[in-house]
Structure 1
Amino acid sequence: MIYSLRLLTYHVIFCVLPVIHHLNYFRPWSSDVRLDGKTVIITGANTGIGKFTAIDLAKRGARIIMACRDMEKSNGALKEVVESSGNQNVFASRLDLADTKSIREFAEKVNTEEKQVNILINNAGVMVCPYGKTADGFEMQIGVNHMGHFLLTHLLLDLIKRSMPARIINVSSMAHQWGTIDLEDINSEKSYDKKKAYSQSKLANILFTRSLAKRLEGSGVTAYALHPGVVQTELWRHLNKPQQAVMWMVRPFTKTSVQGAQTTIYCAVAPELETESGKYYSDCAPANCSQAALDDDVAQRLWELSCKMLNIKWE
């Protein structure tokens, strides 16, 4: 009985409330902004909102680098992006965010072969998965969703700065509202709750964005975090059967991947955001984040811990 009550509570908080949020606040958005001559990197661009973000930005004339872990899937997605956009300047490159060696290899290739990176979209992620560790020993959700993108951004930042004006976009989630940063057990080794670990990683995305924006003031590079909405994506695959049943029932009210990509696209191209940085967006508009996401002390400590764990220096 207690377990059923806890499960129902989780369903209401984690699944149903975001749907209500979507029903009340979804707004259509469109823009004719062109990106000719610009280079865009999108992680996890072989599926879901990443793929439809790639299609949209390719239609705007951008050179697209689809950074994907599964090259077999990415080749099919690459063909779809090219055919849908009519843009031949689209490429796929292997990037496994669960392996710092792969991240460094990808970044080295970009820094060597690309003249510029005008937009970096840190989109890839894992959600409420069973406990596992990355190649470097990080808990999988904090490792992929935060550490991997933290390192990637660090390694590409000099090129991004030389490409200014430029933008860095971190795809977070409203699930951050239920998260806390456990600096003493960031890898959830003492205890593991997959929902808490996911929420922690999404909170880390926003804190990273805030800290990054402050460090980039005056550089011509801006940073944004966003909630895409409750989207029909492969991220649902790790939910258990009761949770999947709830998501199936509310599926008609969730966003399609095309709709879910709109806030990412908005942050990438909206001219009015050129003078904004470090903010959080939802449904193509500024949104309120949790008080924990506004804690600059925790943000700084998370930054320092991330640098230490990744063995990098980032002033």
Structure 2
Amino acid sequence: MFTALKWFYNGCSHYTSGGFKKAESQFNPNDLQVDISHRNYLITGSNSGIGYSAAMEISKRGGRVHLVCRNREKGEKALNEIKLESNNENVFLHICDLSLIRDVKIFSQQWLESGQTADVLIHNAGIMNNEREETSEGIEKTFATNLLAPFLLTKLLLDNQKPEQRPLDMKQRVIIVSSGGMLTQKMSTDFEFKRVVTEGKKWDGMQAYAQTKRASVYLTELFAQKYPTTNFFSMHPGWVNTPQLESAMPTFNRLTKRIQRTPQEGSDTIVWLAISPTVEDNFSALFFQDRHPVDKFISNSNTESPAQDVEKLWSYLNHYYESIPNYYPSSASSASN
């Protein structure tokens, strides 16, 4: 309870629209004055909320933006809006249900076969379910979408790309969108929340969401260790006015409605991490808020996990990766991680 109260108090000062505006006064506008017209930006969950806002801003700045969305109708609507408002024809839609390993496999294979570079991969898609739900593949859906999909998509693209599919003028970047709510959580090794079923516990969708977001911060660190030639960043957008917040956390949404950030304010750090050259060196594995690295733990909260639990996370996710058939061309370079 003390940790949650401390988090809420801190959030009222820093995670709000007012907190963003205060931080914004210190931003360097030159950080985003970069020619990105030759770079590909893959953004999951980009038909609404902060993913849509990030896609719009990067499109306006001339990037080649790839919307990775589950729903075709919503994706096409976002595609047309972004093209029209940004005056950028280099915006593309890919349909992929990230909760399904099958779809992640197909998308990554199609991308690699296209020969394009995956310059910046932004893992924004996330869900918060009010009930425990399993996918058609028998995997808990919050875990599958928020944690397993970023892991699989990142490894499938990095492990199987050819040398010419790596950007020449920068390190590849992978950005994982976490949540400030993860600061209240210590990572459980019950990654798919199976004890909820076996022990008859009540499902807590908010906690499950925060657990996957805590784990995703550790995942960023693990990737940075194992792939030193790629930059990995995690960030949280603050309290943002999005459809998901309104539907999944109605009470919290009512309490914070007047001080919430706009999607544009929430997506600013995503755009900065995706574009700015200032993060090219010495920033991999860090956790960002409003263009600055911040602590990953609330002081005296006892939310830090031992190293063996963090390694269990990698092993658990890698088990799924190793079960995927090797259908990629033999000419692709394969990592040994």
* AA aligned opposite 1:250: T
How far residue 309 of structure 1 moved from its aligned partner, in angstroms, is 3.5
- Please report how far the alpha carbon of residue 189 of structure 1 lies from its aligned counterpart in structure 2 after TM superposition: 2.1
User: Do the aligned partners of 2:184 and 2:303 also contact (CA within 8 Å) in 1?
Assistant: no
Q: Does 1:195 align with 2:206?
A: yes
- Residue in 2 aligned with 1:287? 294
Structure 1 residue aligned with 2:318: 307
Matches within 5 A, 1:141-180: 141-157=142-158, 158-159=160-161, 162-164=165-167, 165-180=171-186
**2:122/2:175 contact within 8 Å kept:** yes
CA 1:193–1:13: 2 relative to 1, 3 Å: farther
CA shift digits 1:135-188 (9 cap, x unpaired): 3222221111000111111111143974232100000011111223332x3211
Distance 1:210 1:109 in 2: 28
**Is 1:20 aligned with 2:13?**
yes
The 2-side partners of 1:81 and 1:98 are apart by 25
**1:88 maps to amino acid:** E
| Correspondence for 2:199 | none
CA deviation vs aligned residue, 1:184-210 (integer Å, no higher than 9, x gap): x32112223222211110011101100
Distance 1:54 1:303, change over 3 A: same
- Which residue is equivalent to 1:258? 264
State the one-letter code of the partner of 1:159: Q
Equivalents in 2 of 1:19, 1:83: separation in Å?
A: 36
- The separation in 1 between residues aligned to 2:233 and 2:306, in whole angstroms, is 16
CA shift for structure 1 position 282: 0.5
Q: Secondary structure at the match of 1:168?
A: strand
Amino acid across the alignment from 1:197: A
Corresponding position of 2:191: 186
Aligned residue in 1 for 2:328: none
Query: What are the Cα deviations for residues 262-303 of structure 1, in whole angstroms up to 9, with x where unaligned?
Result: 011111112111002010001111111027467543222100
Q: Distance in 2 between matches of 1:14 and 1:234?
A: 23
Partner-residue secondary structure (3-state), 1:117: coil
Distance 1:264 1:129, change over 3 A: farther
1:94 deviates by 0.5
Partner of 2:227: 216
Say if 1:281 and 1:287, in contact at 8 Å, map to a contact too.
Answer: yes
Q: TM-score, normalised by structure 2?
A: 0.82
Separation in structure 2 between the aligned mates of residue 189 and residue 98 of structure 1, nearest angstrom:
17
- The structural deviation recorded for 1:10 is 11
User: 2:267 matched to 1:267?
Assistant: no
Residue 209 of structure 2 aligns with an amino acid whose one-letter code is Y
1:139 maps to what in 2?
140
User: Which of 218, 233, 237 lines up with 2:242 in the alignment?
Assistant: 233
Following TM superposition, by how much is the alpha carbon of 1:11 offset from its aligned partner in structure 2, in angstroms?
8.9
- TM-score, normalisation: structure 1: 0.88
Question: Aligned to 2:92, what secondary structure does the other structure show?
Answer: strand
Matches within 5 A, 1:30-41: 30=29, 31-41=32-42
Query: Structure 1 pair 287/134, CA: closer, same or farther in 2 (3 Å)?
Result: same
Question: Quick check: 89-98 or 131-140, which moved more?
Answer: 131-140
* Residues in 1 aligned to 2:134 and 2:7: alpha-carbon distance in whole angstroms: 24
Tell me if the contact between 1:63 and 1:90 (Cα under 8 Å) persists in the aligned partners. Answer: yes
Q: Which moves more between the two structures, 248-257 or 303-312?
A: 303-312
Q: Find the aligned partners of 2:3 and 2:129 in 1 and give their Cα distance.
A: 12
Decide whether aligned partners of structure 1 residues 224 and 312 sit closer, same or farther in structure 2, where only a CA change above 3 A counts: farther
Flag as ranges the 4+ runs of structure 1 deviating above 6 A. Answer: 13-16
Which secondary structure does the structure 1 equivalent of 2:161 belong to? helix
Counting aligned pairs with the same residue, the percent is 25
Greater Cα shift, 245-254 or 63-72: 245-254
Number of corresponding residues: 302
